[in-house]
Amino acid sequence: MDVSEKYPNLPQARGELTAALIEYLTGSGPLPGPGCAESCDPYGNDLQLALYVCYELHYRGFAEVDPKSEWDPELLKVRADLEDHFLDALRADVPHSDDLESALANILVEPIHGCGVSYFLQDDGELWHLREYAMQRSLYHLKEADPHAWVLPRLRGRAKAGMAAVEFDEYGGGRAERIHAQLFADLMTDLHLNAAYGHYLDEGSAEMLALVNLMSLCGLHRRLRGALVGHFAAVEVTSSPASRRMARAMKRTQAGPAAEFFYTEHVEADAVHEQVVRHDVIGGLLADEPQLEADVAFGIRATEHLEELLGNRFLNAWQAGVTSLHRTPTSRTPSCSA
């Protein structure tokens, strides 16, 4: 199905913060008060969903929400409180270092065989694991490349050209059917999932929301352009080998040709992208703005930290034989028969 078919619906609240935010967006209640984030777990469901909802107003928005809410000044104040709480936690949990080379070297090291989600799915994954993985990852992959596009006006020269080249590939090289978000929608159809944008927001775990929120946070703030480039580097450098394992998982479980193709496409494309990002995007950025080296390193390490939390979520649940989802999608009707 076409991923641009409709606007998503607002999610169900996961606490007092998201309940108040959703009521405000639908015109039925006041905004949460000042300092509303302070009592929330910075990685927890309530804060991460609230932040995700605020950011989604800058993407497709929600069917029930006035588009003017995107720039509501009072809402932006609340979002800033949530962002500060999230960023403070990340900076506390991610070691500060100006050593970009060590941050890059760390993500270039492949995990020991058998360690990590892609190894689990390649070797032991069942279709229900792959379906859950796709439901959660759809929160990013159905907007793939969009958070990173925000950095383009904030770059120049070699960094801008390199970033634009990678983004052009992510957007299908000018072919709508090859846009990576559309390829993921095709994967979801193979897995008998609903491929509508935002459909599985209620199923997404706090860990998945946090990872997508990091992209949006860094993309929307010019001061975090270095961290956004670092995040992008972490994604591209680690994607190719993991995609190879995911393609094997899709083939072994007979998930379908589109499911397998999404990952085989990323094996080759992201191997090329890795070189462009390292040499042109990072190299060009630091040639122009060497003071951003620590920010680039932070973006890499913050992404690693959140990916580790998400990976633990998947593996701890699956090894116990239970769902990794925030909730099971029993109340929804899939787009095609399972």
What is the per-residue pLDDT across 129-169, written as a single tens digit (0 to 9) for each? 999 999 999 999 999 999 999 999 999 999 999 999 999 99
**What is the predicted pLDDT for the residue at 115?**
76
pLDDT surpassing 70 at residue 109: no
169 and 231 in a single domain? The answer is yes
Of 92, 114, 144, which marks where a domain is finished? Answer: 92
Residues with Cβ within 8 Å of 143's Cβ and at least 6 positions away in sequence, in order, are 59, 181, 197, 212
**What is the predicted pLDDT for the residue at 274?**
81
Q: What is the pLDDT of residues 41-54, one digit of tens each?
A: 999 999 999 999 99
**Is residue 324 in a domain?**
no
Tokens of 247: 């393609």
pLDDT surpassing 50 at residue 337: no
50 and 171 in a single domain? The answer is no
Number of separate domains in the chain: 2
Q: What is the pTM of this model?
A: 0.92
Of 92, 119, 135, which marks where a domain is finished? Answer: 92
**What is the predicted pLDDT for the residue at 78?**
95
214 and 65 in a single domain? The answer is no
66 and 135 in a single domain? The answer is no
**Is residue 288 in a domain?**
yes
233 and 296 in a single domain? The answer is yes
81 and 113 in a single domain? The answer is no
88 and 154 in a single domain? The answer is no
Q: What is the pLDDT of residues 298-324, one digit of tens each?
A: 999 999 999 999 999 999 999 999 999
**What is the predicted pLDDT for the residue at 159?**
96
Listed range (68-72, 199-203, 274-278, 319-323) with the worst mean pLDDT: 274-278
Of 45, 63, 92, which marks where a domain is finished? Answer: 92
**What is the predicted pLDDT for the residue at 332?**
38
105 and 85 in a single domain? The answer is no
266 and 284 in a single domain? The answer is yes
pLDDT surpassing 70 at residue 334: no
Residues spanned by the domain of 36: 16-92
3-class secondary structure per residue, the chain: CCCCCCCCCCCCCCCHHHHHHHHHHCCCCCCCCCCCCCCCCCCCHHHHHHHHHHHHCCCCCCCCCCHHHHHCHHHHHHHHHHHHHHHHHHHHHCCCCCCHHHHHHHHHCCCCCCCCHHHHHHHCCCHHHHHHHHHHHHHHHCCCCHHHHCCHHHCCHHHHHHHHHHHHHHCHHHCHHHCHHHHHHHHHHHCCCCCCCCCCHHHCCHHHHHHHHHHHHHHHCHHHHHHHHHHHHHHHHHHHHHHHHHHHHHHHCCCCHHHHHHHHHHHHHHHHHHHHHHHHHHHHHHHHCHHHHHHHHHHHHHHHHHHHHHHHHHHHHHHCCCCCCCCCCCCCCCCCCC
**Is residue 78 in a domain?**
yes
